[in-house]
Amino acid sequence: MSDSCIFCKIVSNETKATVVYRDEQVTAFRDIHPVAPTHILIVPNKHIDSVDTLDPEDEQLMGHIFTVARKLATDEGISNGGYRMITNTGTHGGQTVFHLHVHLIGGQRMRYPMG
Ligand code: 5GP
Ligand code: ZN
């Protein structure tokens, strides 16, 4: 837990969010500024700055995030249409909150190009 991290505060219930899923490893909640009908952030419960600071021991955790994303996509009814997952990493990657998170967005056709 990082004292100043907004996503740590959501994980610990210090800050309100619309939590849609929670287990011992991850928390998923709706993005405060959704860019699509479904826009959920999936975060590890432990603080990790970004993909760039992942340890090899975090491999299971990262796989779990994808399994949870798939379940949430089904729950949200966006599986058939398809969806996009994004993890911005570092300044050039467009990361603004430095607690690793995966965006799950769907419910509309995504636009290209990325980047
Ligand atoms: P990034 O730009 O780091 O990939 O994504 C950060 C995301 O977190 C943004 O989409 C932003 O809207 C969302 N966000 C930032 N602060 C909060 C907050 O306090 N609550 C929620 N639910 N989302 C937040
Ligand atoms: Zn954090």
Paired sense of beta strands 26-30 and 38-44, if any: antiparallel
Residues in contact with ligand 1 by the CB-under-6-Å rule are 6, 17, 29-33, 41, 88, 94-97
Task: Print pLDDT tens along the chain (115 aa).
Answer: 677 999 999 999 999 999 999 999 999 999 999 999 999 999 999 999 999 999 999 999 999 999 999 999 999 999 999 999 999 999 999 999 999 999 999 999 999 888 7
Q: What is the token pair recorded at 64?
A: 């779990």
Expressed in angstroms and rounded, the spacing between residue 32 Cα and the centre of ligand 1 is 6
> Which one of the ligands is nearest to 97 CA?
1
Ligand 2: distance of its center to the CA of 80 in Å? 32
Give the pLDDT confidence score for residue 98 in this predicted structure.
98
Q: From ligand 2's centre to the CA of 32, what distance in Å?
A: 17
The pLDDT score that the predictor gives to residue 4 is 92
Q: What's residue 3's pLDDT? A: 75
Q: Reduced to 3 states, what is the DSSP secondary structure of residue 71?
A: helix
pLDDT at 1: 65
30 three-class SS: strand
Structure tokens at 17: 């969010």
Distances (CA, A) of 33 to 14, 38, 61, 102: 20, 11, 26, 15
The residue whose CA is least distant from atom 18 of ligand 1 is: 32
Decide: helix, strand or coil at residue 23: coil
